[in-house]
Amino acid sequence: MLSPLQLSRIPDRAETLRPAVRAFLAEALAGRPADRLARSWMGFDAAFSRALAARGWVGLTLPREYGGGGKDAFHRFVLAEELLARGAPVSAHWIADRQSGPLILKYGSSAQKDFFLPKICAAEAFFCIGMSEPQSGSDLAGLRTRAARTAEGWVLKGQKLWTTNAHRAQYMIALVRTSGSPEDRHQGLSQVIVDLSLPGITVRTIGDLAGDAHFNEVFFDDVQLPADALVGEEGAGWAQVTAELAFERSGPERIYGSIVLFDAWLGHLRSLQRASESDLILAGKLLAHLAPLREMSLALTARLAEGASPVIEAALVKDLGTEFEQALPNLLADALYASPEGPPPEMLLRTLHYVLQVCPTFSLRGGTREILRGVIARALGLR
Amino acid sequence: MDALLVDSFEKLLQGACSPAIVREVERTADASALWATIEASGYLDLLLPGEGGAGLREAFPLWLACGHHTLPVPLAQTMWARGVLGADAGAGAIAIAPTVQRRSDGSWHCPGVPFGAVAQSLLLHTPEGPSCVPLAAARVQRSGVHGSLQADIVLGALPDSGPCGNADLQVAGALITATLMAGALQRLLAMTLQYANDRAQFGKPIGKFQAIQQQLAVLVEQAFAARMAAELGCAETGVMPQRLRAAVAKARAADAAEKAVAIAHAVHGAIGVTDEFDLQLVTRRLQEGRGDHGSASYWHAQLGRALLAAGTPTVPFLLEVLLPGPAARDGGVA
């Protein structure tokens, strides 16, 4: 049985970070329109990421010896919360900061740490995650991309799909098969770091329904990887990925994905100076769902800070969080068109429709809703 | 909170508040034996001023336990009333009046008082602050809803100053109800999981079916969220709740109950609505609790009004207005 998430508090030492981040963002994001900010952690801006890195805010939890901030999970929560609350375009460094960096720190060789971690902290190396394949989405263990050992290292052959930022990241950490066959499921999988500038790699961008292009198909045509491309243990890829997904699923990005739209709507209501009773109820309903979600997300952070890997609880909070993120634009759309006075102001309209268009993906990436509920059911002893 | 204290409270309720006793009290509205056991245990005085400085965060796990056992008496309400009034609190079980209305004949009506049918005193507001009125001379009329302990109460004598608006009582009543509901949701989850493992159809336990598993995952999520919201509402070192946090607790519990009750009954099938099966003790209480001391929409409107009036974006509002500052959390909740 799961034990409940308990109310936690952010230590003062981590809260001291908040005013500095808020002041920086007030300046750095001034004048950016809401429909751009609404892209938030899907918004790619390398210059912005480097500006954060210059302040020590990329790789905040990585050790100082690698150029990191040497801070704990609470500091990262504060930083992430402030960035997401404003819709800061953090996509360029987000995956490296959240997943790849901690993964390399935990499982990488000292040479890998020395090489990659300082680049991540400087926002010079952006990462993407190669998991899904054409025939392997939720059923990740069935993947077919293979890295075969050679005298010099590995030769990589296969294809990844839906890889966010593969066209603008320098590196991919790919989950690949290094032994056995897809029938061996979780056995024989390993993680390799792929330098995306190597010969034999083709990246094709896939446009999305909102007019953006963030994900890609990536082809590996006998790509020669050096021996030290392997990160962690050969054959331990599945366990490593599971631990990594706890990082991916536990952050506040899974509750604040629609917050820019919510604030834009609140601003609209305030400017009208006449919110209807149903608008008040809607605003309060969303707030009443967000407040405990935020505290649950913080409770996960407290468990991470204790050194635990709250895989199940992270799945639970992510499922609840994405449900909130998806309900928000739909409820606001209904409220905004409840009177026949015409569409909302242009910027609010564009922000609303951007979030409406992309919100189905909130419960897809990082594990679908159905997969997450399966993870929870397993923890309940039902599977 | 001392874990031993919570454990022994759990044991007390397990012994004194069996489903058979809950049914008996709901049928007769006579809880005198149960109340005598509770009174003798000393837990009612937990929040008394000066008694080791216990506050809402210490009461939280005990109130959860009351909800878990569908305790048919206002233990939590009495504990809180004693914390506010000390020696001036009334005798016996104390219910909290959600509202007080003056009728044309000069009488005072308190409609829909949760646990009003099993209370000896009623907590309401006067211009001097909260005050307890004995119910010996009052007319107490059960609501007529099957099994409900809610009652309309008509008072004879009132304190000289008379009743007045009861914002604080409303907030406390809402928070207590929310915490009881969070406890009831944990029981609902445990019962539903058990049933999904025990009941076999098509040759295997129904919990092995993915359609059931996915619903149970949602039930866990709702129970977790309601518990966190209630803990947030109870994150006080003193006995007075903060209005907006209590609003979140009550509104979130009500939304969680709506989903959770539907899932629990769906998983149980017909047995879940039978009189002899204990599930109905929990789901009836949850459904009634959704409305007690203000429904989700009532508290949503309060929250929405505060958020719009604040003029700040949502996250700064959460951090600076709604969520507790460090002081209320120091030491945390055991």
- Residue of A81, A259, A292 with shortest CB distance to B225: A292
- Cβ–Cβ of B252/A292 closer than 8 Å? yes
Q: Do A231 and A193 contact (CB within 8 A), yes or no? A: yes
State residue B127's pLDDT score.
67
Over residues A40-50, mean pLDDT: 94
Identify the H or E element spanning A330.
helix A311-336
Which residue in B220, B231, B248 is closest to A6 by CB distance?
A: B231
Q: Nearest CA to A123 among A70, A169, A75?
A: A169
What's the average model confidence in pLDDT over A128-134? Answer: 96
A376 touches chain B (CB under 8 A): yes
Q: What percent of chain A has pLDDT over 90?
A: 88
Structural fold of domain A12-126 = Butyryl-Coa Dehydrogenase, subunit A; domain 1 (1.10.540)
What own/partner pairs with CB < 8 Å and gap ≥ 24 does A340-348 have?
A: A344/A268, A345/A268, A347/A33, A347/A34, A347/A35, A347/A264, A348/A34, A348/A264, A348/A265, A348/A268
Instruction: Confirm if B259 and B252 have CB atoms less than 8 A apart.
Output: no
Bridge partner residues of A219 (DSSP): A159, A202
**Which residues of A are catalytically annotated?**
248
Contacts of residue B330 in chain A, CB cutoff 8 Å?
A: 9
Nearest Cα to Cα of residue A130 among A98, A96, A159: A159
| pLDDT of B161 | 57
Residue B311 touches partner A, C-beta closer than 8 Å:
yes
Q: Mind giving me the DSSP string for A333-382?
A: HHHHTSSSS-PPPHHHHHHHHHHHHHGGGGGTTTS-HHHHHHHHHHHTT-
Domain A129-236: top CATH class: mainly beta
**C-alpha R_g of chain B:** 20
Instruction: Enumerate the residues of chain A whose CB falls inside 8 A of the CB of residue B224.
Output: 2, 4-5, 296, 316, 320
So what's the pLDDT on residue A250?
73
What pLDDT was estimated at residue B162? 58
Report the pLDDT value the prediction gives residue A1, as an integer from 0 to 100: 60
Domain boundaries, chain A: 12-126, 129-236, 240-379
Mean pLDDT confidence for A100-124: 97
Domains of chain B: 3-164 (no CATH), 168-329 (1.20.140.10)
- Cβ of B194 under 8 Å from any chain A Cβ? no
Give the pLDDT of residue B163.
Answer: 60
Average pLDDT for A136-140? 91
Query: Which of A:258-297 have CB within 8 Å of B?
Result: 259, 262-263, 266, 269-270, 275, 277, 279-285, 287-296
State the pLDDT at residue A41.
85
pLDDT of residue A332: 97
Task: Indicate the average pLDDT of chain A.
Answer: 95
Provide the β-strand partners of residue B135: none
Q: Tens digit of pLDDT for each residue in A156-201?
A: 999 999 999 999 999 999 999 999 998 999 999 999 999 999 999 9
Higher-confidence position of A275 and B179: B179
- Contacting residues of B for A283, CB less than 8 Å apart: 300, 303-304, 307-308
B313 near A CB under 8 A: yes
Chain A neighbors of B320, CB-CB under 8 A: none
Which residue in A has a C-alpha nearest to residue B213's C-alpha? A377
The tally of CA atoms less than 13 A away on the side-chain side of residue B4 is 0
pLDDT in tens, chain B (334 residues): 588 999 999 999 999 999 999 999 999 999 999 999 999 999 999 999 875 679 999 999 999 999 999 999 999 999 999 999 887 888 899 999 998 887 888 788 999 999 999 999 999 887 677 888 999 999 999 999 999 999 999 987 666 555 655 568 999 999 999 999 999 999 999 999 999 999 999 999 999 999 999 999 999 999 999 999 999 999 999 999 999 999 999 999 999 999 999 999 999 999 999 999 999 999 999 999 999 999 999 999 999 999 999 999 999 999 999 998 764 444 433 2
Q: Which of residues 24-83 of A touch B (CB under 8 A)?
A: 81-82
Q: CATH class for domain A240-379?
A: mainly alpha
